[in-house]
Structure 1
Amino acid sequence: MVFVSHWLVRGMMDSLPDDNSRYKDVEYWDQRYTTERCYDWLGSFSKFQHILETFVRREDSILILGCGNSSLSADMYRAGYRSITNIDYSSVCIRAMSARHADCPGMTWHQMDVRRLCFPDASFDVVLEKATLDAIMVDEKTPWEVSPQTGRFMHQALTEVSRCLKPGGRFVSVTFAQPFFRKRLYARSQYGWSIEHRSYGDGFQYFLFIMTRGEELSPEDAALERKLLEEAGAPPVITAATHTEDEEGFLSRIDLGDDSAF
């Protein structure tokens, strides 16, 4: 078990749900967004801006999944990214954020399920998510297997992401999950992308995974996919962990694994 420094534990304890399964309930988020103005999982945009600028151009059309009440969209807008579409499945969040940023031409807000994106094929140069997939998996119990329900959810979401990307477009995923585990989720040839990753953070490391549409998996990632496919009858092996709290607390209890052990 890896314990994270106490600075990761934020002072929003009254926002924490009684049970982790509540993180999957829109009612929990609607209630939370009614009183909470802003919260940034995995650090602010400034922490990884230097990496993102390598892969995302100012003129790119960008879709942000699970935008929440994060400052990410506004920070990117101020940095010169002006074509930003934000989605979240909480109508409370979307109404609040749309009103808050009404003075940002080119920024739009939509209530939407990540599994059913209401956009035409090849709509975006970039699809970006920050801790949205982590939150979806917060109730899973082990990094080695995932429930069939969550597995289906993740596959539907990633299929939609791939569909909405333009050729050469990039899916950028910001997460606490180590490459050893998270690549098990992304390394599928059917998504039609290559995978690379970068890290950021002082002390505790977060990761950016960059998937480029229209490129093949590396030999290493293709071998990983074959290995997973050979595990006939086994549930999809993807990142997960036992959490008892939000990032406001749960990151202090995440079992992130140790690459050196494999």
Structure 2
Amino acid sequence: MELPGRNSDYREKSYWDERYTTEESYDWFTGYSSFQHLLRRDILPQQHILTIGCGNSSMSTDMYENGFKHITNTDFSPVVIEKMAEKHKDLTEMSWQVMDMCDISFPAESFDIVLEKGTLDAVMVHERDPWNTSQETLDLIDSVLQQYGWDVNMSSVGEAFHFFYMVMEKGKQLSEKDILAEKEREKKRLLRENNSENPVTFMENDTEDFVLSIEL
């Protein structure tokens, strides 16, 4: 697997189409076994699950073997969707569809659960400061989340290096912590508009583990 020439290439469909032509499987950050105990805590086997930006990760198939049968996998690369659908055609209760996460066309309330693992990170890799992103990236993320007001709970997995596992739920009264987080987000937005924050930059010559290169 050849790394892209620039981090920003991770945002390009052409890069992924070419990569998926030869690459069989790759799991970003960590594999399913690391956080399956959290998914089993938060998801019921009978619930309908949408995975956005599924890529060629084994997460969905691992979940299927773990009892989660009703999974719809989407990715904007037709190359990977065709390959994964053929590779796992025996998993008949799971489906694969070409779809951009910024333009989800399923009817409202089609799914109980939406899973995202590393996809939003990929659209932010060209930003030099993850806490002070461009308006373009903010608009893109807004188009995925559609609106805010989520109740958020966070856990972490890992030992030497920890990954965040976030559960975002709508329809609940926001906790005091989330209300404060919303206020802090608005404060940062205003600071960003006034160019008042010091940037956090990515190191040059990044690798696939670009998230490890953030300088705090």
- TM-score (normalised: structure 1): 0.75
Q: Choose which of 206, 210, 216 in structure 1 pairs with 2:173.
A: 216
Q: 1:100 corresponds to which letter in structure 2?
A: K
Give the Å deviation of 1:246: 4.2
Equivalent position of 1:234 in the other structure: 192
Q: For CA contacts below 8 A with separation 6 or more, give which structure has more relative contact order.
A: 1
Secondary structure (helix, strand or coil) at the match of 2:127 reads coil
| Structure 2 partner of 1:94 | 81
- Once the two structures are superposed, what CA deviation does each residue of 1:206-230 show, in whole Å capped at 9, x if it has no partner? 0100011211322122122123324
- Code of the aligned partner of 2:113: V
Change (3 A) 1:146 1:95: same
Equivalent of 1:196, from 153, 156, 160? Answer: 153
User: For residue 186 of structure 1, what is the aligned residue in structure 2?
Assistant: none
- Indicate conservation of the 8 Å contact 2:124/2:130, yes or no: no
d(CA) in 2 for partners of 1:197, 1:204: 16
Aligned residue among 60, 76, 79 for 2:66? 79
1:207–1:227 Cα change, 3 Å? closer
- For residue 209 of structure 1, what is the amino acid of its counterpart? M
Partner letter of residue 204 of structure 1? F
Letter in structure 1 aligned against 2:214: I
**What's the secondary structure of 2:102's corresponding residue?**
coil
Unmatched tracts of structure 1, length 5 or more: 1-11, 160-189, 258-262
Q: Which consecutive aligned stretches of 4+ in structure 1 deviate over 6 angstroms post-superposition? A: none
Tell me the residue number matched to 1:19. 6
d(CA) in 2 for partners of 1:144, 1:64: 26
SS class of match (1:138): coil
Q: Secondary structure at the match of 1:144?
A: coil
Q: CA deviation at 1:80?
A: 0.5
- Percent identity for Structure 1 against Structure 2: 42
Give the aligned length.
209
Query: Separation in 2 of the partners of 1:137 and 1:143?
Result: 7
TM-score when scaled to structure 2? Answer: 0.90
| Contact in 2 for aligned 1:139/1:241 (Cα 8 Å) | no
1:131 matched residue in structure 2: 118
Is residue 192–residue 216 contact of structure 1 (8 Å, CA) maintained in 2? no
Separation in 2, partners of 1:107, 1:101: 9
